[in-house]
Amino acid sequence: MHDEVSIMHKIKHDNCVQLFEIYESKKKLYMILELLQGGELFDRIILKGSYSEKEASELMASIIKAIQYLHGIGVVHRDLKPENLIYATPMCEEKEEVIKITDFGLAKFKEETGQQMHTACGTPGYVAPEVLLNQPYGPGVDLWSMGVILYILLCGFPPFYHSNTAELYRQIKKGDYTMPKKYWGEISDEAKNLVQRLLTVNPAKRATPAEVLEHPWISGGKASAKSFSDEHTKRITILQARRVLKRGVRSIIAVNRFSRKLNALIASNDA
How do residues 227-249 score in pLDDT, each as one tens digit?
Answer: 888 888 888 888 888 766 555 55
pLDDT of res. 229: 84
Say if 159 falls within a structural domain. Answer: yes
Residue 227: strand, helix, or coil: strand
Confidence of residue 270 (pLDDT cuts 50, 70, 90): low
Please report whether residue 258 resides in a domain: no
Domain annotation covers residue 65: yes
**CA quadruple 73, 78, 81, 83: dihedral sign:** negative
What pLDDT was estimated at residue 256? 67
Q: What pairs with residue 75 in β-bridges?
A: 109
Amino acid 147: pLDDT: 97
What range does the domain containing 221 cover? 2-229
Query: What's the domain count of the chain?
Result: 1
CATH assignment at residue 149: 1.10.510.10
* Active-site residue identified among 43, 79, 176, 270: 79
- Kindly state whether residue 251 falls inside one of the protein's structural domains: no
The reply to whether 81 falls in a domain is yes
Domain membership of residue 211 (yes or no) is yes
On whether residue 267 sits in a domain, the answer given is no
Tens of pLDDT, residues 135-193: 999 999 999 999 999 999 999 999 998 889 999 999 999 999 999 999 999 999 999 99
Helix (H) or strand (E) holding 8: helix 2-10
Q: Which residues lie across from 86 on neighbouring strands?
A: 40, 100
- What secondary structure does DSSP assign to 40-70, as a single string? BHHHHHHHH---BHHHHHHHHHHHHHHHHHH
Domain assignment present for 149? yes
- Catalytic annotation present for 43: no
